[in-house]
Amino acid sequence: MPTLAILDYGMGNLHSMAKALERVAPESRICITHSAAELRAADRIVFPGQGAIGHCRAELAQRDLLGLLPELAREKPMLGVCLGLQAALAYSEENGGTPGLGLFPGRVQRFPAGIAEGPGLPPIRIPHMGWNRVEPTRTHPLFAGIAPGSRFYFVHSYYAPAESPDVAAVCHYGVPFAAALGRGNFFAVQFHPEKSQHAGLRLLANFSRWDGSCPAQVFGV
């Protein structure tokens, strides 16, 4: 039986993620852990999180995971969720500036105050909280069976730029931003798939069977 490990570093609703994975991957053993040995032994890893990047980095360092996570991301399929996406970039402006894991290049920024989604509309509220449409920019096994424009649930005040070379899907909230990033074995989403009903559960089901391969086609090409 394959093992799917949920990284426990003291941040994120781990049990909601575990329940969602149990539903879509009954053939897998789901464990919540911060043990390096268990993470190394797992077939797949989910890197969840919510909250501030500074606290995230401190908790990862306390558990001796800062160096381990990039190593594991090169070895086996890993899914970053919400803060798990932002922490994977090189740098975040949050908490006065915080280095990330460097799995993706780029800089995480705060949504600009005072901008609107369109003429005559009120300024966006920060954080971005609720349902929004996600548009894949290239094919990827984790989006299999999910229609372009499907809605996912978001809760965040900071975002990764849509111009990243690793963008796999985009969303718009005042500005365009990366809803998903993918490189090699590592795939990350800004939304919460465990809270996103059918589309989110389908993405988690796809991840539970993903072998880490990643086609490079761009939609429309």
How confident is the model over 137-180, as pLDDT tens digits?
A: 999 999 999 999 999 999 999 999 999 889 999 999 999 999 99
Region 184-208: what's the mean pLDDT? 98
Give the pLDDT of residue 220. Answer: 39
Q: What angle do CA 39, 41, 47 make, to 5 degrees?
A: 25
Condensed to tens digits (0 to 9), the pLDDT of residues 19-61 reads 999 999 999 999 999 999 999 999 999 999 888 999 999 999 9
Q: Residue 155 is which amino acid?
A: V
Region 102-110: what's the mean pLDDT? 96
Q: How confident is the model at residue 215 (pLDDT cuts 50, 70, 90)?
A: low
- Residues whose CB is less than 8 angstroms from the CB of residue 174 and which lie 6 or more positions away in sequence, other chains included: 111, 112, 115, 116, 117, 124
Give the pLDDT of residue 221. Answer: 32
Average pLDDT, the chain: 94
Give the pLDDT of residue 157. Answer: 98
CATH number of the domain located at residue range(s) 3-209 in this protein: 3.40.50.880
Region 73-95: what's the mean pLDDT? 97
Cβ atoms of residues 97 and 91 within 8 Å = yes
Candidate from 85-89, 160-164, 196-200 with smallest mean pLDDT: 160-164
What predicted TM-score, i.e. pTM, was given to this entire model?
Answer: 0.95
Give the pLDDT of residue 160. Answer: 97
Query: Is residue 216 predicted with pLDDT exceeding 50?
Result: yes
Neighbours of 66 (CB within 10 A): 15
Query: Is residue 218 predicted with pLDDT exceeding 90?
Result: no
Give catalytic residue positions.
82, 192, 194
